[in-house]
Amino acid sequence: MIRDLSALFDPRSVAVVGASNVPGKWGYLLAEGALRGEERRSVYLVNRRGGEILGRSAYGSLAELPQAPELVVISVPADGLEDAVAESLAAGAKALVAISAGLGEMGDEGRCREQAIVARVRAAGAVLVGPNCLGVYDAEAGLELCSEDLVPGSIGLISQSGNLALEVGLVADEFGLGFSRFVSLGNQADIEAWELVESFAAHGPTKLIAIYLEDFRDGRAFARACASAGKPVVLLAGGATEAAARAARSHTGALASDLSAIRAAAVAAGIELVSSPKEVVDLAQALLTGRRPHGKRIALAADGGGHTVVASDLAAAAGLELPQLSEATRARLAEALPPTATLNNPVDFAGGGEQDISSFAKVARALLESGEVDTVLFTGYFGGYAHYSEEFRRREVESAEGMAEAAADTGLPLLAHTMYWRSPPAAMLRAKGVPVFREVEAAVWVAGRLSEETPEALRRVPDIPQPAEPLVAEADYFGAREILGSAGAPFGQARRVESLKEALVAAADLGYPVVLKALGRLHKSDSGGVAVGLSSPEEMSEEFTRMAGALAPPSFSVEAMAPLSQGLELIVGAKRDPRFGPVLLVGAGGLYAEIVKDVAVALAPVTEAGAEALLRSLRVAPLLDGARGRPPVDVGATARAAAALSRVAAEHPEIAEIEINPLLALPNGALGLDARIVLR
């Protein structure tokens, strides 16, 4: 359901409840901000004590207003929030912003009070931001109902932390970026992040959505809103680690989402995940140009070899490729540079900039038009020539313009790092759509990030299917095998046995060598509950007796021996995240699994194509195609098993965790060697 949020961002009238005449107080800041929009809308300041505030006579209550306030900002102590909300609704408010802290973030009692408030708001057809928030801002609508001092621009900011939003604002300002809208989320009692993403997506002046979020609420809805936003979404997700989760719980009552679920959502929805305010701004700079590379080839250029060397080292570490340049391109560079210059990639001007400052524009154009690279990055000494003289300054700014024009003409991303990132030439680059970075590592990081491409098959936010008939009880090993097997994940032959006699019969039946497993333990192999390669009745007897004595399991499984040395051991599993729903995980298995931590995640259910793309995104992917004299494995069959598991997970909300571990990918087919289901 899409609700109308226009009263929130561009109300015809606004009231500030708790307006104050004391500078520094919240009620003062809000009143002051509201009055800055007075030309556009009626502004009413409300204070129980009446009197005069900022030169206007204040109203004693909302009931006294001459017209209905479309938007009411409430800055009263928590005790008074219910009354203020009731009065607002009675006065005809369509949108409320509750600054008041001390409710949901304090515990269960506060949460109940919040829910009651929300019920009233919704019954009245209104919407509420907060409580425990810092307000809202809309540049175009001249709405400044928050404590942040934001500069107008094209970033829409949604934040669950006031101070982080403030920092993003300060950093953005240093790079010449500003804000179209800002909403401080607070406790998200009514309006949640996903709803704002939808609203910002439809908001013309907002070209990019930046979000700080700890509590995702309906994670699928959030992912869906981001996927269909039609503009870049940069997400700083807080509280995805255990220590951070401790902080998150105590911060705004957020239950931290697991990072892997957030990653899965980011892949599905094309969300750019970052980890600091600086990264928000660095990436926003580049995304706002609208230019993305179509590959990992980068050309680096600088007037000074040291800078090309440092940038090359960083680019290589970021997985970017520095192709050698063709004779034709080198010839073109030679025209623009002195004979001592390096015409290879990276290009070193060797003082050429000082000799002819227009060489920056010429080199940029030669590289961008070469067709040999996907991104061009300038680093080091640029913008500094402007210090030499007025004439140098003028020509350096002109050269900057030429660089930007070359980028615009080719549509390729041109990035710049310069030591003089606040200089007039740097400002010209920015003005003409070339992001300018303060540190070379920031520029290279952005270049690497822009070059990452998510496979088409994974760029979708799947719907969660209707729940299937629930599993009646904790599925044991054989239950898990059966459920997964009938969904399409193949397992080898196995017999459940309880006595040595049964075990010997089963083994003879399956043919030695066999595997014996003690059932009923979570980590069978760690506790000595798995014996592989038993090649005779004697070995079977010995192992059975040992396990029975040491582990006393309720039952055993006797299984055909899998051709381990021919295959690749993988892990395929899914867990149900409280916010994002079922998430599929595939990863490297075997002895090194926990060392390598080579995993990839996706929102479940996943198609076969999606599962294959996921497998191919693993670091062990080269081994899928055969390596070190081994034949390639059957990736299709492996992907089918993973997709099947993801469907089971998606159809059974009662499954907390499900896994096939190991799943043996073989040259022909794939074979589950163990399975596990944990119900909630």
Within 403-442, the residues that bind its own copies by CB under 8 A are 419, 438-441
* Residue 65 burial (CB count, 10 A): 17
> How far is it, in rounded angstroms, from Cα 572 to Cα 585?
6
CB 578 within 8 A of CB 255: yes
Nearest distance, CB of residue 18 and its own copies, angstroms = 17
Nearer to its own copies (CB atom), residue 439 or residue 634: 439
Q: Which of 164, 408, 464, 548 binds its own copies (CB under 8 A)?
A: 164
Compare residues 108 and 469 and give the one whose CB is closer to its own copies: 108
Of the candidates 207, 211, 186, which has an alpha carbon nearest to the alpha carbon of residue 197?
211
241 φ, ψ (degrees, to nearest 5): -110, 170
Q: Which is nearer to its own copies, 58 or 210 (CB)?
A: 210
CA separation, residue 568 to residues 574, 613, 624, 665 (Å): 20, 17, 8, 5
In the bound complex, what is the minimum distance in angstroms from residue 304's beta carbon to its own copies? Answer: 4
Least distance from its own copies to the Cβ atom of residue 108, Å: 16
Nearer to its own copies, 114 or 598 (CB): 598
Residue with tokens 């019969």: 505
Q: Which is nearer to its own copies, 322 or 604 (CB)?
A: 322
Report the nearest approach of its own copies to the CB of residue 487 (Å): 28
Within residues 457-486, the interface with its own copies by CB under 8 A covers: none
Smaller CB distance to its own copies: residue 342 or 555? 342
Kindly state the smallest distance separating residue 628's Cβ from its own copies, in Å.
Answer: 5
Instruction: Give least dist CB 134 to its own copies, A.
Output: 11
**Given candidates 41, 251, 365, 430, which one binds its own copies under the rule CB under 8 A?**
251
Rounded Cα distance between 454 and 93, Å, is: 44
Does 92 sit near its own copies (CB under 8 A)? Answer: no
Regarding 170 and contact with its own copies (CB under 8 A), the answer is yes
Site for its own copies in 178-207 (CB under 8 A): none
Using CB under 8 A as the binding rule, the residues of this chain from 230 to 249 that contact its own copies are 236, 238-244, 246-248
Interface with its own copies (CB under 8 A), residue from 9, 137, 175, 212: 212
Helix (H/G/I), strand (E/B), else coil: 250: helix
> Among residues 569 and 612, whose Cβ is nearest to its own copies?
569
In terms of CB distance, is 256 or 268 closer to its own copies? 256
Q: Which residues pair with 156 in a beta bridge?
A: 181, 209
Place of tokens 């615009």: 408
Token pair for residue 606?
Answer: 């996943």
Give residues 121-160 in contact with its own copies (rule: CB under 8 A).
159-160
Number of H helices, E strands in the chain: 24, 29
For residues 475 and 572, which CB has a smaller minimum distance to its own copies in the complex? 572
Measured from the CB of residue 316, what is the shortest distance to its own copies in angstroms?
4
Q: How far is the CB of 531 from its own copies (least distance, A)?
A: 10
Of 59, 113, 61, 124, which Cα lies nearest the Cα of 87? Answer: 61
Of the residues 304, 479, 490, 653, which one makes contact with its own copies according to CB under 8 A: 304
| Closest approach of its own copies to the CB of residue 34, in Å | 21
Amino acid code (one letter) for 247: A
- CB nearer to its own copies: pick between 247 and 656: 247
Is the CB of 460 or the CB of 524 nearer to its own copies? 524
Which is nearer to its own copies, 11 or 425 (by Cβ)? 425
Residue 24 interacting with its own copies (CB under 8 A): yes
**Which residues from 512-541 bind its own copies, rule CB under 8 A?**
525-528, 530
CB of 570 to its own copies, least distance (A): 12
How far is Cα 467 from Cα 344, in angstroms, rounded to an integer?
A: 59
> Which secondary structure element, helix H or strand E, spans residue 675, and what is its range?
strand 675-679
Looking at residues 440 to 459 of the shown chain, list those that interact with its own copies (rule: CB under 8 A).
440-441
Binding to its own copies, residues 635-664 (CB under 8 A)? none
Q: Quick check: 113 and 103 in contact, CB under 8 A?
A: yes
Q: Are 25 and 54 in contact (CB under 8 A)?
A: no
Name the nearest CA neighbour of 516 among 481, 489, 553. Answer: 553
Amino acid at 222: F
| Only segment of 89-97, 424-432, 480-488, 615-623 that touches its own copies (CB under 8 A) | 615-623
3 state SS of 331: helix
Q: Are residues 18 and 74 in contact, defined by beta-carbon separation less than 8 angstroms?
A: yes
- Residue 448 token pair: 């690497």
Site for its own copies in 323-382 (CB under 8 A): 340, 342, 344-346, 348, 380-381
From 278, 432, 496, 546, residue interacting with its own copies (rule: CB under 8 A)? 278
Dist CA 135 CA 16 (whole Å): 11
How many chain residues are in contact with its own copies, going by CB under 8 A?
82
Q: Which residues contact 630 (CB under 8 A, 6 or more apart)?
A: 566, 623
Neighbours of 475 (CB within 10 A): 21
Pairing of strands 42-46, 13-17: parallel
Q: Which is nearer to its own copies, 119 or 316 (CB)?
A: 316
Minimum distance, C-beta of residue 519 to its own copies, in the bound complex (Å): 16
Q: How far is the CB of 322 from its own copies (least distance, A)?
A: 4
Judged by CB under 8 A, which of 75, 312, 451, 617 binds its own copies? 312
Contacts of 572 (CB under 8 A, 6+ apart): 489, 584, 585, 586, 641, 642, 645, 659, 660, 661, 663
Give the end-to-end CA distance of the chain in Å, rounded to a whole number.
Answer: 30
Which 573-612 positions form the footprint of its own copies (CB under 8 A)?
588, 591-592, 594-596, 598
Q: Which two tokens stand for residue 253?
A: 């009552």
Structure tokens belonging to residue 151: 């500069």
Beta carbon of residue 563, minimum distance to its own copies (angstroms, whole number): 13
- The only residue of 622, 625, 632, 654 in contact with its own copies, by rule CB under 8 A: 622
Angle at 395 between CA 391 and CA 399, to 5 degrees: 165
Tell me the closest approach of the beta carbon of residue 501 to its own copies, in angstroms. 27
For its own copies, the binding residues in 383-402 under the rule CB under 8 A are 388
Residue with token string 């109940």: 112
Instruction: Mention every residue, 6+ apart, whose C-beta is less than 8 A from residue 63.
Output: 87, 90, 91
DSSP 64: G
Q: Which of 67, 115, 250, 493 binds its own copies (CB under 8 A)?
A: 250
Binds its own copies (CB under 8 A): choice among 90, 317, 334, 508: 317
**Residue selected from 54, 309, 427, 548 as contacting its own copies according to rule CB under 8 A:** 309
Q: How many CB atoms lie within 10 A of CB 224?
A: 21
